[in-house]
Structures are given as structure tokens and as C-alpha cells.
Structure 1
Amino acid sequence: MERPELPLPQLHAFVVLAEELHFGRAATRLGIAQPPLSQQIRRLEDKVGYALFSREPGNIGLTPAGRELLPAARHALTHLAEGLTAAREVGSGRAGRLRIGFAASLALTVLPGLLRTFRERFPAVDLDIQEMTTTPQLAALRERTIDIGLLREPPAHDAELGFKTVLTEPFVAVLPSSHPLAAQRTVRVEQLAECPFVLLPRAVGPPLYDQITNLCTAAGFTPQVTQRAVEWQTVCALVEAGLGVSLAPESIRRIRLKGVAFRGIEPGTARTRVAVAWRKNDSNPLVLRLLAALNQDPTDSP
């Protein structure tokens, strides 16, 4: 049996009349004249197939059918009002879900302050935080599986994606604390020429990898990469184990390992960029909200 559709204006008129039990007062509440109200009720009764009100001179009451419909009608109107409110919250960027990809090392710099600022301003937003390196982030943005990326060394130009630099930082040498160079305050890059290197694989972030190897090339040598690790925490652990040295962004100093020494390098002019990335054609208002939060300088940089 096909279910009759019950238009919401008729349900609204029904609920108000059921509460007032007086056509004049109900019409006043609804902001309409009595004849249109009567027509709304008649149409609703026609759809239900039974009278919803008993009509005696000077006395209006709910019929058994009307008493049965009233809780469902109230629930439908309340559910609609809640849905409209939720839709407005999402549409305005005050609620909804924002998926953020981030490079692990950014948990040491820009990420905590950004999330704290955003959460304080928009507590109703559901944040889905996913750790991933630069290359997977760029792919995830294009595939629309994340909305925002926080990554190192973004591409110079991209037709689909926008980038905004939020932090730059110099490089440091990462050494076993027992290494002779750890006794120095700073290390010249050429002093690392004979050392085995521990680096991230180039595939996870080609621009950053190339920056590091270019530092070595400018110092007159090609780094002999003997160990690779996807995360800087693992790079530092391998350095602590004596498997090599590394060059890394300065924020890696915040990884506290007793057997690792971090030293500034000479020359110290090279810097690595941290950027936020997003789809240029993204209509999600939460993306704009996060970009605005970044403009408030929430970074927790070293």
C-alpha cells in the first residue's frame, strides 16, 4: 500500500491547532487567516483518510486518529528543524567534517597550534587527522580523500592545488652523540662527506630529498645513503644506533633521544618550507575556515 505524503506546512498547521484547540488562536500563531487554516487541515485529513479533529459548536478536540498522529507530527517537525540547523552550521563552516593530512615532523611544529586554535573556534567540527608524507598527501588531495594537507616542500606550481607557506626552517646535522663532530658547535657540510647517511626515501618527498642531497653536492660530495626510513623519528633512531648521520629540518631537534646530537650546519642559508595545501576548486567552507586560522599565526615553531 502506497504511503500518503504529508506536506510539512499541513503538519505544522495540525500541530498548532492541536495545541490551541481554537481556529482563531491557531491562525494567529501561524500568521494566516482562518479559512486557509481550515483548508490545510481538510487537505491533511483527506490524505490521512480520517478526521483528525471533532468539531462541535464552541468545542474542538482531537479524534483518536488525531491523537495518534500528533506525536509523529511533532517529531517530524523537530527533526526537520534540527536538520535545517545542522545544514546551516555545515554550510557556514561552523560544523561538519574536515580531513587533514600531515607530515609526521609537523607534529613538532605547526600542527599542534593550528589544531588547538581551530578547535577552540569551531568545537562542533569533526577533525579527521591522517599522518602521511608529502607525495601521498598530494595524491589524496587530488583524489578528494583529504581536504587539507600540511607538507614540506610543495611543488612550485600546480593547476589543481593551492599552497601557502606557513613556516620555514633551516637544516641541522643529526649525529650519534659519540661521533667526533658532535663535539663541535656547528658542522660544515663537507665534514660529513665520508659518513654513511640515513635519509627518507626520495619517493615520499622528492623536493625535500633533493634539497638535502643538493646541500651535499654543493659541499663537493654525493651522500652515501646506506639506510632509509619513512619517518624522521625512525631516521633519528637509526642515527642513535650508529648506522649513519643525516641532515634534517631543525624542528627534528624536538625528537628527544639520548644518543643523538643535533648541530647547526655551515653554510646555514638553506631552508625548508612547510606549506598548507588545498584544492583550488573546493567548495567546503571548512577549508576556508582553516586557512583563516592559519593567518592568525597559530604555529608552535621552535
Structure 2
Amino acid sequence: MTRPEPRPELPLPQLHAFAVLAEELHFGRAATRLGIAQPPLSQQIRRLEEKVGHPLFHREPGRVTLTPAGRELLPAVRRALADLTDGLSAARAAGSGRAGRLRIGFAASLALTVLPGLLRTFRQRFPDVRLDIHEMTTAPQIAALREGTIDIGLLREPPDGETEIGFRTVLTEPFVAVLPTAHPLAAQRTVRLDQLADSPFVLLPREVGPRLYDRITGLCAEAGFTPRIAQHAVEWQTVCALVETGLGVSLAPASIRRIRLKGVAFRAVAPGTARTRVAVAWRSNDPDPLVANLLAIVGQEVPRPGAVPAGRPVPPGR
């Protein structure tokens, strides 16, 4: 079996020299454009002609023209140089976090608070970055970060003891009681947690957000009762819809009030210190500049009403 002859490697300086000389058709002017002396330019062209196996230029006194081989080679060289220039620009943009793809997981309720402003600011600053947005609850986000299927997460009540994943608190927001409008407590402006002891609850299942589930049931325990869970629902909108049907009540982050259902009332909860934490999450060892750029923006957006930026004192009674 005959082996194919190896293709000759064409060094970039020789291709560049050939393209410039093909435009100028004058060794002196081409050498000036390239910033080299004329003899090195002639050497580059001769080396390229040796690799091609044919002359690329007719050299006559006072006149330089392309040979048929040179005319055939020129379009390919121009495409190669243009592709290389584009590739270098793309590589620089990706390396600085100005281009590429960023995969973001987010808890559905955060579409009502920090997510819109965060994405709007990021897109304004980095319009060439492609954003892949995935709605998912906390536990699937943590798994996706570990597996590398998302690059950054926006979630509630991040878990403790994670070494591979970094977390930064973005804001905290109070809980509200979610009640059917026909519920007796809906007539009150504020509901004490212990007043919910006799009502069935509709909650997210623990497996999709263990820390948030434990936070809610822990608040109930502090109020002296264990919630009687009548129904689980994966999304807060579904929770509210089930509350509207009268299946039970719920405790939810205050941003859920933006879900408008005629048969649902949202009431402040006492004590007002009951709050839930929103955090951004990323792989601790991830050097991706896209992640670094988004992290630099996190916390700059003004949270929606009912939310308090991380680190800001919560006023008494809220």
C-alpha cells in the first residue's frame, strides 16, 4: 500500500510575505510593509516556492507578476490568513470572557427577583456571550455543577460542607404565608407561625431543596408544631395554585407574591426575622473568565421589594 506523500508545512511568515508581495508586486514596497529588508523577503519567497515546487512570481527588471501557480495559491492564502486573524480574535475574546457560552441554572422563584436584572446587565456588558439558561431547583443545580453541565447556579439555601463548590450570598428575603383567600387568617395583615399549626401544608418536596425544606419545617418547629403536609409540588407557582384550590397553606419566599392568583392571599409572617437566603454558586476550581465576569456583576443589581441585599441590616419588624 502506497503511503500518501506528506503535505508540506507552510510557515505563517512565508504565507504573509507571499500575500503582501502579491498585493504590492514590488519587492521594495513589500519589504517596507513587512518591516524587513529586501533580502530576507526574497528568501521567504524562495523557501515557499521550494515547498510548492513551482515559481510563484515572474521576476523581470522593474516588474513582478504572479505566475499561474501564484494566482492559484493567492485566494487560499488570503482565506487562511483571514481565518487565522478571526481565530485569534475569537480566542482573545474567549480568554477575556467577552465571548463564549455560559450555562446558568436558576431557581424558578429567582426569575421574580435577581435573575432579570443580572442577565440584563451581563448581556449589556458582554453581548457576544451566549447564555444557556436552565430552570432547576437547588439539589439538581448542585449536581449539575459537580458534573460540569452548568457553569454557575442561582439557588436558595445553599448546603453546608461543600468543598468543590463556592457560594456567595446575594440577598435574603422574608417568608410570607400563602393562604386561600377564604382562610380565616387571610383577614389579618400579619400571621404568627403558630396560627398555621392546624392547617395542612403544601410544600416543595425535600429532595429538590433540602435546606429550604428544612428551613421551613424548622421555623414551624420553633413555633411549636410539625407541619402536616397534604401535598407536594415542585414549582412555587404550582404550590400557589394548589393553595388556591384549598388543599392547604404554605410558607414561601416573599418574591412569590408576584405570582398573581385571585384566590390566594400573601401575608407577612411573625416573627419577621424568618428569612431565606439566595446565593450564587460555582465550581471553586473553575478558571473560566465567563464565570468570573458574571460573579463580578452579582450583587450590583438592586433587589426587588421584599428582598434585602446580603450584608445589609434588616430593619426591626421586617
Paired residue secondary structure (1:60): strand
Alignment of 1:119 onto 2:123: yes
Match of 2:60 among 52, 56, 60: 56
Q: Shift of the alpha carbon at 1:301?
A: 4.6
Q: Shift of the alpha carbon at 1:296?
A: 2.1
CA distance in 1, matches of 2:12, 2:187: 78
What residue is the counterpart of 2:109 in the other structure?
105
CA distance in 2, matches of 1:196, 1:290: 41
What residue is the counterpart of 2:191 in the other structure?
187
CA distance in 2, matches of 1:104, 1:143: 21
CA distance in 1, matches of 2:119, 2:302: 8
CA distance in 2, matches of 1:295, 1:23: 59
- CA-based RMSD of the aligned residues comes to 1.1
Which amino acid counterpart does residue 226 of structure 2 have in structure 1?
T
Range moving further from structure 2, 287-296 or 205-214: 287-296
CA-to-partner distance for each residue in 1:90-142, whole Å, 9 max, x for gaps?
A: 10111111111000000000100100111111111111111010001011111
Alignment of 1:271 onto 2:295: no
CA-to-partner distance for each residue in 1:245-278, whole Å, 9 max, x for gaps?
A: 1011111101111110000111221110000011
Match of 1:230 among 208, 231, 234: 234
Paired residue secondary structure (1:253): helix
Q: Shift of the alpha carbon at 1:190?
A: 1.2
Which amino acid counterpart does residue 26 of structure 2 have in structure 1?
H
Alignment of 1:22 onto 2:30: no
Q: 2:178·2:243 contact (CA, 8 Å) conserved in 1? A: yes
How much identity, in percent, do the aligned residues show? 78
Alignment of 1:205 onto 2:241: no
Q: Shift of the alpha carbon at 1:298?
A: 4.6
Paired residue secondary structure (2:295): helix
What residue is the counterpart of 1:254 in the other structure?
258
CA-to-partner distance for each residue in 1:62-115, whole Å, 9 max, x for gaps?
A: 001101111110110011001000100110111111111000000000100100
What residue is the counterpart of 1:67 in the other structure?
71
Q: Shift of the alpha carbon at 1:3?
A: 2.5
What residue is the counterpart of 2:167 in the other structure?
163
Match of 2:133 among 119, 129, 133: 129
Which amino acid counterpart does residue 136 of structure 1 have in structure 2?
P
Q: Shift of the alpha carbon at 1:222?
A: 0.9
Match of 2:50 among 26, 46, 49: 46
Alignment of 1:154 onto 2:158: yes
What residue is the counterpart of 1:79 in the other structure?
83
Q: 2:180·2:245 contact (CA, 8 Å) conserved in 1? A: yes
Q: After the TM superposition, which parts of structure 1 deviate over 3 Å for at least 4 consecutive aligned residues?
A: 298-302
Q: Shift of the alpha carbon at 1:41?
A: 0.7
Alignment of 1:240 onto 2:241: no
Which amino acid counterpart does residue 48 of structure 1 have in structure 2?
V
Alignment of 1:144 onto 2:148: yes
Unaligned runs of 5+ in 1: none
CA distance in 2, matches of 1:85, 1:254: 43
Query: TM (normalized to structure 2)?
Result: 0.93
Shift in alpha-carbon separation, 1:185–1:301, aligned structure 2, 3 A: closer
What residue is the counterpart of 2:316 in the other structure?
none
Which amino acid counterpart does residue 108 of structure 1 have in structure 2?
L
Paired residue secondary structure (1:230): coil
CA distance in 1, matches of 2:204, 2:303: 24
